[in-house]
Amino acid sequence: MQIWPGRPYPLGATFDGAGTNFALFSEVADRVELCLFDDAGKETRIDLPEVDGFVHHVYLPAVQPGQRYGFRVHGPFDPPAGHRCQPEKLLLDPYAKAIEGQVDGDPSLFSYEFGKEGVLNTEDSAGHTMLSVVVNPYFDWGNDHRPRHEYHESVIYEAHVKGLTQLHPDIPEEIRGTYAAMAHPATIEHLHALGVTAVELMPVHQFVQDTHLVEKGLSNYWGYNTIGFFAPHNSYSANGQRGQQVQEFKSMVRALHEANIEVILDVVYNHTAEGNHMGPTLCFRGIDNQAYYRLVDSDKKHYFDTTGTGNSLLMRHPHVLQLIMDSLRYWVTDMHVDGFRFDLAATLARQFHEVDRLSAFFDLVQQDPIVSQVKLIAEPWDVGDGGYQVGGFPPLWTEWNGRYRDSIRDFWRGEPHSLGDFASRLSGSSDLYEHSGRKPIASINFITAHDGFTMRDLVSYNDKHNAANGEGGADGESHNRSWNCGAEGPTADEQINALRARQHRNLLVTLLLSQGVPMILHGDELGRSQQGNNNVYCQDNELAWVDWDLEDWQQELLEFSRRIVALRRQEPVFQRRRFFAGEAGHGGESEVGDIEWFQADGSRMTDRDWSDGSNRCVMVFLNGEAIPEPNRRGERIVGDSFLVLFNPYHEDVEFTLPGKEYGDEWTPRLDTADDQVGVVSVFTEESAFSPGVKLPVEARSVLVLARGPVGDK
């Protein structure tokens, strides 16, 4: 085999059409071996004698796509000093574009004998760990183009590649649970009919199955256990050929783009699957432990952990920052994804100890001409001190708004003193974002997400039921702000089931008509249940998968969901790009302001009313003639004006419509008290109401009225 010096950049394995360049960073290594594996598993080792800037590199003209490889790093094994090099452990390439296999839990994967810290394990891990794969970067993208939906026009759908598609009857069985299933017309048609503009895929970076879960007959279903930041997870590939997960992922993105749907990835750059000091040595730990991981300053044998997983990446090391930025750019430029949701993003801001919005990571993202132009969504917290940072991220970023989730849940379960905060969340959370110059689109509004109850379970359970996880109920959030409507779990009581369906509709309407960017959890539009389990991270089975065998009430809920998404997308007043001002004028022709809040009796809300803990009901006027921002062509936006009447109370409440200065006529557009898809019997499609009219709004329901006569709708 010919061996050429190669180049130190780009890092990883790069096929150029003739051969492959290999480059690996390690400041601590005395020597690095590239290990090539043939189809029979025979290993050939090649020294990487060339080193530039601590990057060890070589070029092999004979190596083609499909070649499996790994590294062995020779250097100090001195845990008290932070070093853990062990050439007996075969290591993944941190820049591997594809990865083959899974770890099998063999003792050879670990530096120590099981449970015996200090007793060194020198067994060779080859044959028990994963292998990196050289890939062909070429792909026919055709006429692929990014949808580039504006945030204010977006409806995000959080989905799991396998969970969404594994049980779909219209998808061929052999491709269910894969990238190919996500690209199947049945999946895309559902997303298109629902009206979503983006799918936010739960982790698709290569992740590791935790040994302790496998031993219990469980698995890492969610995938928040990354080991390969460039490689699509291999078990989501329908094509068993080596490295084909890359081509299949690209085909999925191309198909979703053709349907005008963006692809956002949930990425986990805060930690890796190697765990704490007793975890397996798979990649980073054996390459350069002290460079990649944050260690306890006074005890470098142990890891400084703000993620709850055993380790945290060292966000002030230049090669860690380079790794993350290279990964982000790769997924945008080579894989054509449209954005990222950053898991436990507060950890990425910990350049030192505290969360710092001016950290090096944010600086790099801000100045990057590629990464800065895609959607950037932070999960703005971690488990470390000061980690809850909702509202604290820089202007370029949007955030999962945990305050929104908690407030909406409290309002609809009837908590006192919840009305004021509810109004703030409904109108875009200006108290969280306006001070930093951000707009309502900074708030990613969600009521449910993968972590916690589904929306159906939120209205069906008071307590978590996580026995299937095998942790004695100790896992998962205990304070869920849920209400079971009178019975815990499934019931034959028709009144309770009807109330649950209504509460479900209330939550969906609130989510879709709030200012900001709504995010729907997959299956919530179908009434998906996890039987009260609020932490299905280890349940790769029917408990967590979407069941597409719909009962009548689920089909009705789906139709309702489509209708409310369509209402949002059709009406500019629900998609404002700027915060409400409240006063009249503001660039419009209306004599009233852009928003007004009323009590049920039609009088304006006062400060005293907002602070009254017994106040539950509210009516909000949204002025479609006072939208200050122009459209993309610079034209003034004028849409319908709306009154939205919220009654979370347990009894019917009579609302009085406001004076004629707000509108001469009001027409029902939506009522959650209806058990069907249309408008309830007391409000026919031909109904129209005048100012001052008293309307009965049923208990625990929302009534949406549009200004103007019926013929205009």
SS (H, E, C) 365-382: HHHCCCHHHCEEEECCCC
Which of these, 536, 510, 400, lies nearest to 457 by C-alpha position? 536
**Long-range Cβ contacts of 107-114 (<8 Å, 24+ apart):** 109/280, 109/281, 109/282, 110/278, 110/279, 110/280, 110/281, 111/77, 111/84, 111/86, 111/281, 112/278
| 494 classed as catalytic | no
Whole-number Cα distances in Å, 191 to 260, 455, 486, 510, 522: 10, 18, 33, 20, 10
| 354 classed as catalytic | no
- The DSSP secondary structure of 181-215, one letter per residue, reads HHTSHHHHHHHHHHT-SEEEE---EEE---HHHHH
DSSP tag of 605: P
- Rounded distance between C-alpha atoms, residue 466 and residue 218, angstroms: 13
The alpha carbons of the chain give a radius of gyration, in whole angstroms, of: 27
SS (H, E, C) 263-330: EEEEECCCCCCCCCCCCECCCHHHHHHHHHECEECCEEEEECCCCCCCCCECCCCHHHHHHHHHHHHH
- Where helices occur in 50-91 by DSSP H, the ranges are none
SS (H, E, C) 81-112: HCEECCCCCCECCCCCCEEECCCCCCHHHECE
On whether the CB atoms of residues 665 and 641 are closer than 8 A, the answer is no
**Long-range Cβ contacts of 477-483 (<8 Å, 24+ apart):** 477/451, 477/452, 477/534, 477/535, 480/409, 480/452, 480/453, 480/534, 481/406, 481/409, 481/410, 481/413, 481/415, 482/409, 482/413, 482/453, 482/457, 482/458, 483/412, 483/413, 483/414, 483/458, 483/459
Which of these, 414, 416, 394, 390, lies nearest to 403 by C-alpha position? 390
Choice among 379, 415, 540, 698 that is catalytic: 379
**Phi, psi for 435 (deg, rounded to 5):** -65, -25
Choice among 93, 288, 305, 343 that is catalytic: 343
Pair of tokens at residue 528: 């998906």
On whether the CB atoms of residues 40 and 72 are closer than 8 A, the answer is no
Identify the burial level of 495 via C-beta atoms within 10 angstroms of its C-beta, where 0-12 means exposed, 13-18 middle and 19 or more buried.
Answer: exposed
Q: Any residues with CB less than 8 A from the CB of 16 and at least 6 apart, and which?
A: none
**Helical axes 552-570 vs 185-194, angle rounded to 10°:** 60
- Rounded distance between C-alpha atoms, residue 468 and residue 241, angstroms: 34
- Rounded distance between C-alpha atoms, residue 408 and residue 415, angstroms: 10
Pair of tokens at residue 177: 């649970």
**Phi, psi for 447 (deg, rounded to 5):** -110, -35
Identify the burial level of 280 via C-beta atoms within 10 angstroms of its C-beta, where 0-12 means exposed, 13-18 middle and 19 or more buried.
Answer: buried
Active site residues: 343, 379
